[in-house]
Structure 1
Amino acid sequence: MTFTTETWQSKAAAKKAAILASIPEEWRLSPSQLKLAEGVRDITGPFIQQFLDHDTIAITSLDSVPIVEAIKSGKLSAVEVTKAFCKTAAIAHQINPCILEIFFDKALARAQELDDYQAKHGRTMGPLHGLPVSLKDQFHVKGVDTSMAYVGWIGGNCGVFDDGLVHKIESQITGEFLSVGAVLYCKTSLPQTVFFGETVNHILGTTYNPHNRNLSCGGSSGGEAVLHALRGSTLGVGTDIGGSVRIPAGFCGTFSLKPTPERLSYKDCANTAPGQYTCRSTIGLMGTSLDGVDLGLRALLSTQPWIKDPAVVPIPYRQDIYDAYLARGSAAGAKPLKIGVVWNDGMVEPHPPVQRGLKLLAEAVKNAGHKIVDWNPPSVKEGCDIHRRMLLSDGLYDIHQQLARSGEPLVPSLTEELKQREPRPLLEVHDLTLKGLAYEIKYSDYWNSTADDDGQVVDAVIMPVAASAAVVPGQYYHIEYTRVANALNYSSVVIPVTKADKSVDTADKTYQPIDELDRKNWEAYDPEIYDGAPVGLQIMGRKYEEEKVLAIAKVVYAALLEEKKGVKAAL
């Protein structure tokens, strides 16, 4: 292990300055421009666009699929698209720090190579040809740092400083993106340790919610969601072990897919406590559209990742499953979908904006002709407690070993929760594993039992991403709404549903919390503070149901848009 005599504070400050210095001079905001962002609640849309030219706005307003199609048809070049997203990402970072690594020069050179390839061969390199793809800073790109927000990892890859390896490691998924034509240009911020639902570290500080900067952007893939909300990216990749691609998407009004672990390759990626393999982290996709997220999954699976990574299950993209469930959303569908709804997980009552979002989405699905049923599974607390205890089974030794590289302390929000403790004995870990498997069986049995009343099993479940529409920094008390899908290794998609509105989402002062945790969460709600915060909801399927849950999410989201259209027309 390499230690340094340089203070962690100076090393972190130098890294922060180096990130800003890597932004081209012509894209740097002046002090007066930066001052405009101070005190502004919502920096999305018109606010960030004031710093961009018309052509850049036109390109970055497109989603992933239209961009790929425009490049393929010759309407746009890869260089034009890459430059637009690099510029927008640079502005986004300056008004809300969200990027840990910038390599725009590499990206523009790569884009030129792709344009030259297309000109020479008359075809594109792959399904993502010319599309800029952002990466959470857990994925190795050759020639680029991977700090994973640890000060002690600055200057290396995943804590590797050996001259023969430093900056030469490439994650398998990074190579897969390149093989299908993607352009990689930046790596986004995440919380120190990764084990946190907010994005805060000693290098960049806190990354706030771009729709409402009173609030957190979520975590751990928070930098990704912020960049998408500010249109500095349309497709990115993160990781999820407790909600890390779903929480930020829900908080920032974007889309995400948490697949079943081992559907995509985790090979040669940085991680916390990588030896903990019972409750597995999973690679997840995030973006500005469902079609874009789906495109990313198709592209990665087209590389047959299981050939190079034996941990990946050999399941190619299943078009027949996607088409079958998408067809059930049409008027001519063979039979309606049956959707369960989680109104409350039995531990913490959702805030008024989330309650309204659930009712709005359930009503939209019902009005589209589908069945809605209440979802009352086995104790969520039981499954989540098993998952939490397993994640902490090493006594947080790995986290504290990485902190010791620079001497940096835990960020204040994590000081108590992630303090080092004794590792769990092996037999206790074995027992937790068996309890986890028993919980999976119990939950699966309940799911199967939903066919008892009408012969039709529930197809998917709508549930909150969190009990609140984003959170006030330091007040994220309950992540079990996302954790349960990790405890079960289920697939889940997040869609934006509505935004908190102080005029309708008033605080219910008559509500009687069931315990101290519920009280803390309920009292944290303030209609004025939360006004404008996105409300995202999950659509959860079972294991290896990525195509199914993506198709159902598309059906559900279309029903929501149709419902909103009808309400608007009625007004």
Structure 2
Amino acid sequence: MTLEYPIPWEARAAKKREDTLAKIPAEWRLSAADLEFAAQQRDLTGPFVERFLEPEVIDIVKTDSVPLVNDIRAGKRSAVEVTKAFCKTAAVAHQINNCLLEIFFDAAIKRAEELDEYLRVNGEPVGPLHGLPISLKDQFHVKGVDTTMGYVGWIGGNMGITDPSKTHQVESQITKELLSCGAVLFCKTSVPQTLLIGDTYNNIIGRTLNPHNHHLSCGGSSGGEAALMALRGSTLGVGTDIGGSVRIPAAFCGIFSLKPTPERVSYRDAANTNPGQNTYRSTVGFMSTSLEGCELALKSVLSTRPWVQDPAVVPIPYRQEVLDDVLSRAEASGKVKTGKPLKLGILWRDGAVEPHPPIRRGMAMVAEAVKKAGHKLVDWNPPDHAVAQKIHYSFLLADGARDVHDNLLLSGEPLIADLQAYFNLKDPIPLLEYQDLTVRGLANEQAYSDYWNSLTAEDGQEVDAVIMPVAPHGAVIPGRYYHLGYTEVVNLLNYSAAVIPVTKADKGLDGVDGTYKPVNEVDRANWESYDPEIYHGAPVGVQIVARKFEEEKVLAIAKLVHAALLDVQSA
């Protein structure tokens, strides 16, 4: 059956693009010549994007989240000037790199004015995020603003197929929490259609590319967030992660992220793909230009006691003592103090798909820094990641892509090309098969935990965390992301994870390794896709993985590892 639509999906998408651009003030619009010049650039970050900004704007947007909040609280900067600086930078970022789905700058500036007045009258801030502009992945509802989640059929509303009668009236719980902490919300960032891909492409605004290397992807599904931050259009944002979606774009774009355990942070009233699949839940995560920004976000939202309003949230307050205890084990440089070093596992490869040369080098850099700082490093050889990936992937497709196709039918738009091989409509898996998958998933979690525990016997010290690649490549050529196993396993285990940037691909250092022989067809496709010239300049990041509900611990370990890395690089 062919459905007829009063407005073709292409026209709806084109109108949405026009409406979004119209929300950018005329004085912030770039000329056709500027846009053409930008399209010819390989690297849009740093000096390039700054050519469109005034020195005072650059000074603000190059400042990270915690110093910005401190400056606003101390009266050194106003919330209005900070908000305007990030709104302008975000406007430029969108024009040169197509990263925003929603703009509400006017409301943000009005909010900043109210916050400045509150601080003037009361002499104290509204909360820990007072005056800080925060961007949102386009899954989080803001009253009066669309949430499309990358679907053309959601344009003009924010509830999709769930309850159109509540359009523009619902706010996500985390949106309310951020506002109660004093945040200024100013834009929502692009996502891929379905959310279930490590790239950012939809039929509304097209593809968002990597600001560091325009040949490559910004990652996904929180790709618009990462691209915006790489261009300094935001220092702190909120994303989600069910298969790597705050970790992949962070690594690809050279920023930081935190993936909490599901149910640590509220997902209530946020949009999602296949929301009924909650055996392995998507989790709200944070992305930032600094680890301190991720820490600030987690600490702030937990200060609101989210479990009171959202019964799915586990009532664990922010544990400063856990973070402090880990940090006390090393100097600010990451070097071990007299006492107990960190014991870190390192997974060089998962045995299914070999990391490209830049990832190999990045992992070696981290290992060297950890060792030079005096910490213990042990090779990590856990249960087969391929088993965990297969189980996790089966859950993502458990409904036979019914939810995806129901949302496509709202407008008649097609699946994007990269998804057509995976999300054709099928029958949902039977209940007994679903239950068997659950049992297998639990068994995998238990086997992984048993392996983790077994390494304590070597020296009586438990492994604190594991360092592993985020992907088998740096920021990837669009359409050539063949293997999500490095991130999906962490979702199946429901572990905490943080991402830190390490280096960038360098064609002079990361030549093709002609000695490596791929072990399977996916490995071969990935290995043969590596081109040192194309990948040159791609950020390389690693993920640091701790156990369930160890967000404070993994943040502290990430700080020490990153500090040790910087110490070696500056020597």
- TM interval, short-chain normalised: over 0.9
Deviations 1:280-302 (A, max 9, x none): 10000001000011000000000
Give percent identity, aligned residues only.
63
> Aligned equivalents of 2:165 and 2:347: distance in 1?
51
Distance apart, 1:39 and its partner CA? 1.8
Structure 1 residue corresponding to 2:344, chosen from 339, 342, 345: 339
What residue in structure 2 maps to residue 94 of structure 1?
Answer: 95
Q: How does 1:274-423 map to 2 (within 5 A)?
A: 274-330=275-331, 331-332=336-337, 334-423=339-428
> Aligned equivalents of 1:310 and 1:560: distance in 2?
40
What residue in structure 1 maps to residue 532 of structure 2?
Answer: 527
How many residue pairs align between the two structures? 565
Q: CA 1:163 to 1:557, structure 2 compared with 1: closer, same or farther past 3 Å?
A: closer
> Aligned equivalents of 2:569 and 2:165: distance in 1?
57
Structure 2: which amino acid aligns with 1:444? S
Structure 2 residue corresponding to 1:547, chosen from 527, 552, 560: 552
What residue in structure 1 maps to residue 79 of structure 2?
Answer: 78
Deviations 1:13-52 (A, max 9, x none): 1111111111011100011111111221000000000000
Distance apart, 1:95 and its partner CA? 0.1
What residue in structure 2 maps to residue 184 of structure 1?
Answer: 185
> Helix, strand or coil for the counterpart of 1:110?
helix
What residue in structure 2 maps to residue 57 of structure 1?
Answer: 58
> Aligned equivalents of 2:164 and 2:522: distance in 1?
49
Distance apart, 1:329 and its partner CA? 2.1
Q: Is the 8 A contact 2:83 2:109 kept in 1?
A: yes
- What stretches of structure 1 move > 4 A for 4+ residues in a row? 160-164
What residue in structure 2 maps to residue 464 of structure 1?
Answer: 469
Q: How does 1:507-518 map to 2 (within 5 A)?
A: 507-518=512-523
Distance apart, 1:3 and its partner CA? 8.5
Question: Aligned-pair RMSD on alpha carbons?
Answer: 1.1
Distance apart, 1:197 and its partner CA? 0.4
Distance apart, 1:4 and its partner CA? 4.2
Q: Is the 8 A contact 1:141 1:170 kept in 2?
A: yes
> Aligned equivalents of 2:530 and 2:166: distance in 1?
49
What residue in structure 1 maps to residue 452 of structure 2?
Answer: 447
> Aligned equivalents of 2:164 and 2:271: distance in 1?
18
Structure 1: which amino acid aligns with 2:119? Q
Q: Is the 8 A contact 1:394 1:422 kept in 2?
A: yes
> Aligned equivalents of 1:366 and 1:443: distance in 2?
25
What residue in structure 2 maps to residue 47 of structure 1?
Answer: 48
> Helix, strand or coil for the counterpart of 1:80?
helix
Q: Is the 8 A contact 2:147 2:157 kept in 1?
A: yes
What residue in structure 1 maps to residue 509 of structure 2?
Answer: 504
Q: CA 1:338 to 1:178, structure 2 compared with 1: closer, same or farther past 3 Å?
A: same
In structure 1, stretches of 5+ residues that fail to align are 567-571
What residue in structure 1 maps to residue 493 of structure 2?
Answer: 488
Structure 1: which amino acid aligns with 2:533? E
> Aligned equivalents of 2:123 and 2:175: distance in 1?
25
What residue in structure 1 maps to residue 125 of structure 2?
Answer: 124
What residue in structure 1 maps to residue 107 of structure 2?
Answer: 106
Structure 2: which amino acid aligns with 1:293? C
Q: CA 1:3 to 1:219, structure 2 compared with 1: closer, same or farther past 3 Å?
A: farther
Deviations 1:395-419 (A, max 9, x none): 0100000000000000011111111
Distance apart, 1:333 and its partner CA? 5.0
> Aligned equivalents of 1:44 and 1:162: distance in 2?
40
What residue in structure 1 maps to residue 201 of structure 2?
Answer: 200
> Aligned equivalents of 2:471 and 2:429: distance in 1?
29
Q: Is the 8 A contact 2:159 2:166 kept in 1?
A: no
> Helix, strand or coil for the counterpart of 2:90?
helix
What residue in structure 2 maps to residue 139 of structure 1?
Answer: 140
Distance apart, 1:164 and its partner CA? 4.8
Q: How does 1:153-172 map to 2 (within 5 A)?
A: 153-159=154-160, 164-172=165-173
> Aligned equivalents of 1:79 and 1:204: distance in 2?
29
> Aligned equivalents of 1:76 and 1:69: distance in 2?
9
Structure 2: which amino acid aligns with 1:13? A
In structure 2, stretches of 5+ residues that fail to align are none
> Aligned equivalents of 1:479 and 1:204: distance in 2?
25
Deviations 1:527-553 (A, max 9, x none): 000000000100000000000000000
> Aligned equivalents of 1:160 and 1:132: distance in 2?
30
> Helix, strand or coil for the counterpart of 1:67?
helix
More moved, 439-448 vs 415-424: 415-424
Distance apart, 1:161 and its partner CA? 9.2
> Helix, strand or coil for the counterpart of 1:37?
helix
Deviations 1:81-118 (A, max 9, x none): 00000000000000000000000000000000000000
> Aligned equivalents of 2:146 and 2:395: distance in 1?
30
> Aligned equivalents of 2:259 and 2:273: distance in 1?
18
> Aligned equivalents of 1:271 and 1:260: distance in 2?
17
> Aligned equivalents of 1:333 and 1:13: distance in 2?
62
> Helix, strand or coil for the counterpart of 2:284?
strand
> Helix, strand or coil for the counterpart of 1:535?
strand
Distance apart, 1:479 and its partner CA? 0.8
Q: CA 1:162 to 1:449, structure 2 compared with 1: closer, same or farther past 3 Å?
A: closer
Q: Is the 8 A contact 1:147 1:156 kept in 2?
A: yes
Deviations 1:109-136 (A, max 9, x none): 0000000000000000000000000000
> Aligned equivalents of 1:161 and 1:237: distance in 2?
22
> Aligned equivalents of 1:306 and 1:557: distance in 2?
32
Structure 2: which amino acid aligns with 1:96? N
> Aligned equivalents of 2:216 and 2:33: distance in 1?
24
> Aligned equivalents of 2:396 and 2:432: distance in 1?
15
Structure 2: which amino acid aligns with 1:81? V
More moved, 30-39 vs 431-440: 30-39
Q: Is the 8 A contact 2:157 2:164 kept in 1?
A: no
